[in-house]
């Protein structure tokens, strides 16, 4: 796979006014979300829910792609069209979550490292055949007393870089996601410092593993105070801090940055993205790869009445996609 083809896919992922819907919850996370609204989590209920999200009428005007879970990439619409084919036919790029989740980092209480490198080359080969053109790996960094440690940051960066190099070898664009969690009572300054160190470490590791940045997308967390912090930040503060942090640590050659929502409200996730784009021009397109901030309204409606609310739930997916697509242009709420 040439770097030009990878770069083309990466640019298409962050095409103007478009972003990504993240529907790659592992079955355990999906169960947590379904339990929250009283839905039985079965292979078929997960399939039906993902169909609702992927086939929301006109949402593809604002969605360049979706991140799927392994199970979903192998599933089809109720009419028998494989989801990957449905997406490609509707102008959306199929992506796949390839990490195998987090485990405690031995010797470092309270810290996590992401697993999934063993056998990854062969899994990527298969995912490519199934239609995936980008792949996501999520590392989790927790802020707390004396953490994150340098060891945790380095271990996660090293794994991210190894996965990214394998993705490019197999023709998939890596979407590297080092998520700094919002859990905790730390202030926005602490989140800034940690995020900056994490990003510097990540780009250092990507460089060391010869990952081509032109064919890489960063999925970043925004710089925000911890959920338990008494002093919450304004939209402008979050946008300014996040932009400054990214500008100080992310090379300009990167084709784009997308954000995770991390537990922010739908409105906040959109407002923050919009504000950052209004503060541009920025070195890279800034867009979204939201999970909860794209889905939670639809999930609630669908849970309340699966048949009666089906169209309404799909309409909210369209509305969330449109709002975030406009925010990616800095034109939300005009
Ligand atoms: O815990 P899991 O199953 O890996 O899922 C974590 C989720 O976090 C994300 O990376 C970001 O989602 P949010 O926007 O809801 O924070 C999703 O892509 C993914 O589904």
Active site residue 111: no
Model confidence band, residue 211 (pLDDT cutoffs 50, 70, 90): very high
Cα end-to-end distance, the chain, whole Å: 41
Model confidence band, residue 334 (pLDDT cutoffs 50, 70, 90): confident
Q: Which residues contact 251 (CB under 8 A, 6 or more apart)?
A: 203, 213
* Whole-number pLDDT of residue 314: 98
Q: Which residues line ligand 1 (CB under 6 A)?
A: 22, 24-26, 29, 67, 101, 138, 177, 260-262, 290-293
Whether pLDDT at 294 is above 90: yes
**pLDDT-above-70 percentage for the chain:** 100
How wide is the angle at C-alpha 164 spanned by C-alphas 163 and 167, nearest 5°?
85
**What is the phi-psi region of residue 172: left when phi exceeds 0, alpha when psi lies from -120 to 50, beta otherwise?**
beta
Whether pLDDT at 97 is above 80: yes
Ligand 1 geometric centre to CA of 54 (Å): 17
User: Would you call the peptide bond into 281 cis, given omega within 30 degrees of 0 as the criterion?
Assistant: yes
Task: Give the pLDDT mean for 23-36.
Answer: 96
The CATH architecture annotation of domain 3-328 reads: Alpha-Beta Barrel (3.20)
Do 52 and 313 meet the contact criterion of CB atoms below 8 Å apart? yes
> What does the buried/exposed string (b/e) look like for 182-207 if buried means 16 or more CB atoms within 10 Å of the residue's CB?
bebebbbebbbebbbbbbebbbebbe
Q: Output the residue whose Cα is nearest ligand 1's atom 13.
A: 291
Residue 135: which of 88, 95, 168 has the closest Cα? 95
Ligand 1 geometric centre to CA of 67 (Å): 10
Q: Which residues contact 305 (CB under 8 A, 6 or more apart)?
A: none
Whether pLDDT at 1 is above 80: no
Q: What is the DSSP string of 38-57?
A: T----HHHHHHHHHHHHT-T
CA distance 121 to 243: 34
Q: Which residues contact 278 (CB under 8 A, 6 or more apart)?
A: 239, 330
Residue 191: which of 241, 239, 153, 231 has the closest Cα? 241
Domain residue spans of the chain: 3-328
Complex-level ipTM beyond the 0.90 threshold: yes
Ligand 1 geometric centre to CA of 22 (Å): 7
301 to 93, 121, 263: CA distances (angstroms): 27, 39, 19
Digit-coded pLDDT (tens) for 131-165: 999 999 999 999 999 999 999 999 999 999 999 99
CA distance 37 to 33: 7
Model confidence band, residue 18 (pLDDT cutoffs 50, 70, 90): very high
* Residue in 101, 138, 221, 224 to alter for ligand 1 test, most ligand atoms within 8 A of Cβ: 138
- Alpha-carbon dihedral 287, 292, 295, 299, rounded to 10 degrees: 180
Task: Give the pLDDT mean for 92-106.
Answer: 98
Digit-coded pLDDT (tens) for 224-277: 999 999 999 999 999 999 999 999 999 999 999 999 999 999 999 999 999 999
Task: Give the pLDDT mean for 202-214.
Answer: 98
Q: Tell me the pTM.
A: 0.98
Model confidence band, residue 86 (pLDDT cutoffs 50, 70, 90): very high
């Amino acid at each position: 796979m040439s770097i030009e083809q990878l770069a083309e896919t990466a640019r298409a992922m962050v095409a103007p006014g478009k972003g990504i819907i993240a529907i790659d919850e592992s079955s355990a996370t999906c169960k947590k979300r379904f339990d929250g609204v009283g839905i039985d989590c079965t292979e078929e209920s997960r399939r039906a829910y993902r169909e609702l999200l992927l086939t929301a009428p006109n949402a593809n005007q604002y969605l360049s792609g979706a991140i799927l879970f392994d199970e979903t990439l192998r599933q089809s619409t109720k009419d028998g069209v494989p989801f990957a084919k449905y997406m490609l036919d509707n102008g959306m790029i199929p992506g796949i979550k390839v990490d195998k989740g987090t485990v405690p980092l031995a010797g470092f209480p309270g810290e996590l490292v992401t697993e999934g490198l063993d056998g990854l080359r062969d899994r990527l080969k298969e995912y490519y055949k199934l239609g995936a053109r980008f792949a996501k790996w999520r590392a989790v960094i927790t802020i707390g007393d004396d953490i994150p440690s340098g060891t945790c940051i380095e271990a996660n960066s090293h794994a991210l870089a190894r996965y990214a190099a394998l993705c490019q070898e197999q023709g998939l664009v890596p979407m590297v996601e080092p998520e700094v969690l919002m859990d905790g009572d730390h202030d926005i300054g602490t989140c800034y410092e940690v995020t900056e160190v994490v990003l510097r470490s990540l780009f250092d590791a990507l460089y060391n593993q010869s990952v081509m940045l032109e064919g890489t997308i960063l999925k970043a967390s925004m710089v925000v105070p911890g959920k338990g912090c008494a002093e919450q930040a304004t939209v402008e503060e979050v946008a300014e801090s996040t932009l400054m942090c990214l500008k100080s640590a992310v090379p300009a050659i990167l084709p784009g940055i997308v954000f995770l929502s991390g537990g922010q409200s739908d409105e906040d996730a959109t407002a923050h993205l919009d504000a950052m784009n209004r503060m541009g021009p920025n070195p890279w397109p800034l867009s979204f790869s939201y999970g909860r901030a794209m889905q939670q309204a639809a999930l609630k409606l669908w849970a309340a009445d699966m048949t009666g609310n089906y169209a309404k739930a799909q309409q909210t997916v369209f509305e969330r996609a449109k709002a975030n697509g406009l925010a990616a242009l800095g034109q939300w709420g005009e």
